[in-house]
Each structure stands twice: as C-alpha cells, then as structure tokens.
Amino acid sequence: MIAVLALAAGVVLGIVLGPTVPPALLPYLPIAVVAALDAVFGGVRAKLDGIFDDKQFVVSFISNVLVAALIVYLGDQLGVGGQLSTGVVVVLGVRIFGNVAAIRRHLFRA
Amino acid sequence: MTDSPPRRGSGSPGRQAPAAAEPKRVFAPDFLTELFRNPLDPGYADAAARKAVEGSPAGMRRWFTRAASLITLIALGFLFVVAYQQTIADEPARTKARAALLQQVQSRRDQTTQLQNQADKLGDDVAKLRERELGGAAVAQLRDMEAATGLAPVKGDGAKIKLGDGPTPINPVTGERNTVARVKDTDLQLATNALWSLGAEAITINGQRLTATSTIRQAGEAILVDFQPVTTPYEVLAIGPADMAKDFRDGYAGKFFKELATKYGMSFGASDVRNVTLPAATELKLRVASPIPPPSASAPVSSSGSVSSSPSEGGR
C-alpha cells in the first residue's frame, strides 16, 4: 500500500515538476523505463513469493538502470547501439514476462 | 516454461540449502536457459535465505532500507512520467513542423492570388486602353475571339456536371487507403471532352476556366487544372446548347459515370443551369508567335521585338 502511494507520489512529482530531459540522456530513457519495469515486476513477484527485500529491490533497480544505460552507451560508441538496445530489451522483456506470469499464477492460481 | 516457476517456488529452498551452507554465490553457466527458467533476480532468494539465518534486520537499518526502497519507488514513478511526457512531446514537434509547412504553402498561395489579381487588373487596363484606341468593330471581333478562347468571362445557359469522390476506406490489414472510388484526372478529362463534343462553348472546373491549352493532370492525390489544385466535389460548368445536360447523361460519359456511381459510390449529377457566368482563364501563355508582316521592309526587327518582349500580353 505504502509502495503504491510512493509510486503515485513519484508520478505526481513528475507531473508537477515537469522536467525537461537533456537531449544527451534521451536515448537512455526507453531502456531505463524497461529496466525499471523489470525491477518493479521482480519486486512485486518477490513480495507475492514472500521473499521481498528492500535492499535487494533498491540495488536491483539502480544497477538495472545503470547497466542498461551503460550497455546502450557502449553500443553507441561502438556503432552497434541499436542491436545492443534490442538485446537489453529482449533480456529484460523475458524477465518481465516470466515475473508477470508468476504474479498471474499467484493472483489467479492459474 | 510456464509450469517451471511453481517448481522453482518449492525448489528454491532446496537451492538455498547449499547457498546457506556455503555463502559463495554460484552462477548458472547457461545464462539464457537460467533466464527463462527463473526470471526472478536470485538476489531475493539469497536475501530470504540470509534473513532465515540471521533474522530480519532491526532498528535503524531496517528503516533505512525501507526509506531507500520508498525513494526508489518515487524515482520509478517519476521516471515513468518523464518518459511518458517525453514520448508525448515528440509528437507535437512533428505536428509543429507540419503546421509550419502548411502555413508556408498557404502564404505562398495567397501571394500567388494577390499577384494574379494584380495581373488581372493590369490586363483590364490594357483591354480598356485597347478599346479606346481601336474602337468599334475591331473590338467586338476581339471580344468574340476572347470569349471563345477563354480569355474573357462569359455568361449564358448550359449544364452543370457534379462529380465527387466515393468513400475511400482504409484497409485494416495494410493500413492503405483504397482510392479506387476517387475521381481521377482521366474522369475529369472525359467529362470535359464530352462537353466540348456536345457543343460547349466555355467550360470551368471548380471555377478554373479551360482554354485550348489547359491541362488536367493528376499530381499524387491532387488534380491540377492548369497547375491549380482542385478538390472534390468537382463541379464542371459548361455554357452551350440547351439540351447539353440531357445529352451528357445519355452519352457515353454519362453512362460511364453512372456506372462508377453505382459500383464505387462516387457521386454524379448532371443538370441544366440558367444564366451562369464563367470567369476568364487565369493566364494564357503565348507559346508560338510569328511577327506580323511588316508594312515596310524598314522596320521588321522592331515589330518582332515587340511581340517577343511581352509574350503574355502579346496574345491578348
């Protein structure tokens, strides 16, 4: 409950502040969102599994976003940014999908 | 893959048993297989195992991690909103560029109209001057010729042919517009040619007077009549014999358009009109000109020079 409130607070904060993203960071935004989604669904699933851990959640979120951004940055420097982004999205997408499937089984027993 | 996670849920304590005995983390050799089988970060299982051994952290530390996770959640919401707003903001930039282009087109078009008005006014001045200088029968003859060639507005009875695009549904699979029911340049050409052959003396398409050198052409999705775009519904007005509308309806063109109307849903109508005024053609460029035989051999150069130096007015 508090977690949902905190998420809503972040959304409100984003709407109120309405920050402009510096152009240099723009390519990393979609990847960061996918990495963040992975952390969120991982956290929800761990909560339902009963093994949620605050520290693990924070660390996984920060490291996910940073590593994803780093991979995209490296890819851009090497000229394979698009392919590496695809790789990141595939790996994180598989994890998100697996975790959502586990959440679904928890919620609907099916 | 779908039934493996429940097994994992019950199997994870078994996996943790050696992890608890030996704290060193073991990484699966096949990353992708492991990823598909167990999408949850192994850190959660490790943390749970640690908690089981050491007990939950208490006091300051507990509150600190709790606060950190809340801040992370706030950051998450923030990130989502920023990304969403960024995606939305990208779209207006594109729309803005489009609007700017549209504005440019419009302003250029206005400029063209303005210049055209000026040209018309100057043309009227020229006509007036000519009338004053020539006078009488020569002017009457000139007027008749102008009316016939489309250079002067004409008034009279005739026929009105209306053509409109039929429905152009978008294919749900390919996303392409089905343009089979759209009026094509050839349709307008057919209509005007039929009217000419029925004895029309003057024709306009959406107010564009046709001359002997007029063009009706398709440019992409637009139809250009003398390089001026015209849009659906097309209204072809013609001055001519009294039974022109009826003849048109019964002729080949009328039957063709009726067929199109029933088959593709295009709109078609032919009716008589009384006392309509058709405007003059916007321009008639002089393309071929030969000098009038000079009255004397002394000044052939100046005569031909005067024709070629004002090509657009030379024909008027």
A4-51 tens-digit pLDDT: 888 888 888 888 887 887 878 887 888 888 888 888 888 888 888 888
Residue A60 near residue A42, CB atoms below 8 Å: yes
pLDDT for A57: 87
> Does residue A53 lie within any of the structural domains?
yes
| A102 within some domain | yes
Which of A14, A30, A54 faces B78 most closely, judged by CB atoms?
A14
CATH number of the domain residue B229 falls in: 3.30.70.1880
Look at the block and give the residue holding tokens 């052409």: B217
- How many domains in chain A? 1
Q: Is residue B73 part of a domain?
A: no
The domain boundary residue, chosen from B39, B56, B73: B56
Amino acid at A32: A
Average pLDDT (B122-141) is: 84
Q: pLDDT tens for residues A50-107?
A: 888 888 888 888 888 888 888 888 888 888 888 888 888 888 888 898 888 888 888 8
pLDDT at B16 over 50: no
> Chain A 62-91, CB below 8 Å of chain B: which residues?
62, 91
> Would B140 be classed as within a structural domain?
no
Rounded Cα–Cα distance for residues A4 and B73 (Å): 8
Cα separation, B275 vs B137, in Å, equals 26
What does the pLDDT read at residue B28? 55
Average pLDDT (B38-58) is 78
Which percentage of chain B shows pLDDT scores above 90? Answer: 19
Using CA coordinates, name the residue in chain B closest to A98: B39
Distance CA A100, CA A41 (A): 7
- The closest CB to that of B74, out of A10, A60, A101, belongs to A10
Q: pLDDT band at B124, cuts 50/70/90?
A: confident
Give the domain-ending residue among B36, B56, B76.
B56
| Interface contact A18-B85, CB threshold 8 A | yes
Q: Does the distance separating the beta carbons of A58 and B5 come in below 8 Å?
A: no
Residue A8 falls within a domain, yes or no? no
B38 chain-A contacts, CB cut-off 8 A: 98
In a domain, residue B274? The reply is yes
Residue from A5, A12, A13, A33 whose CB has the most chain B CBs within 10 Å, to mutate: A33
Q: Which domain covers residue B36, as residue numbers?
A: 4-56
pTM higher than the cut 0.90 = no
Provide the residue range defining the domain that includes A51. 23-108
A16: in domain? no
- Report the pLDDT averaged over residues B294-310: 48
**3-class SS string, chain B:** CCCHHHHHHHHHHHHHHHHHHCCCCCCCCCHHHHHHHCCCCHHHHHHHHHHHHHCCCCCHHHHHHHHHHHHHHHHHHHHHHHHHHHHHHHHHHHHHHHHHHHHHHHHHHHHHHHHHHHHHHHHHHHHHHHHHHHCCHHHHHHHHHHHHHCCCCEEEEEEEEEEECCCCCECCCCCCECCCCCCCHHHHHHHHHHHHHCCCCEEEECCEECCCCCCEEEECCEEEECCEEECCCEEEEEECCCCHHHHHHHCHHHHHHHHHHHHHCCEEEEEEEEEEEECCCCCCCCCCCCCCCCCCCCCHHHHHHHHHHCHHHHCC
For chain B, what is the domain count?
2
Does residue A45 lie within any of the structural domains? yes
Q: Is residue B224 part of a domain?
A: yes
Query: Of the candidates B2, B69, B79, which has its C-beta nearest A33's C-beta?
Result: B79
Domain annotation covers residue A18: no
Q: Does B68 sit within 8 Å of A29, measured CB to CB?
A: no
Is residue A21 within 8 angstroms of chain B, CB to CB? yes
Q: Report the pLDDT averaged over residues B292-309.
A: 52
Whether residue A14 is contained in a domain is answered as no
Is B136 or B72 the better-scoring residue by pLDDT?
B72
Give the lowest-confidence range in A84-93, B212-221, B293-302: B293-302
Helix (H) or strand (E) holding A101: helix A81-108
In a domain, A5, yes or no: no
The DSSP-derived string for A42-55 is HHHHHHHHT---HH
